[in-house]
Amino acid sequence: MHRECNNPAIIFVKLNVKLKELFDSQYQVWGISLPETDFQQRRNGSILKNGWMIKYRFGWDKGIEYLEFFASHRLTNDTLNRIYEDGDNELVGCAREYFRAGDEKDKHALIEHNRQFYEEVKHRGLF
């Protein structure tokens, strides 16, 4: 076995290229990609392009690296997402967009759901 194969830094880079690839493929149609420098340095940041506002951060959960991001566009609901280094993609949460007309209970449920959602986004430092 090559000595380089046992080098954790080399394995780390190879495993985590998937984070950028998955993010970039998700937003490719809008010409959006995760900035290479931010990816290489695991630097949190934001992207404002083609109607999107995306704030992102890198983190770890149970020994697995992830890219977490809040995505907002006026033509769709806001979402909080995670892409894990193993390729799993998780919708952590999203804003509700509508309620049943004339249903006050549903209207208040939407308001409360969205309040909690945006509080969570803010708590994670993405709002």
pLDDT in tens, 81-94: 999 998 899 999 99
pLDDT of residue 18: 85
pLDDT of residue 6: 43
pLDDT of residue 16: 66
Domain range list for the chain = 3-90
pLDDT of residue 115: 97
pLDDT of residue 17: 77
Q: What angle do CA 91, 60, 93 make, to 5 degrees?
A: 15
Query: Distance between CA atoms of 90 and 68, rounded to whole angstroms?
Result: 9
Regions of the chain with pLDDT less than 50: 1-15
Q: How far is CA 73 from the centre of its chain?
A: 14
Tokens, residue 15: 């495993």
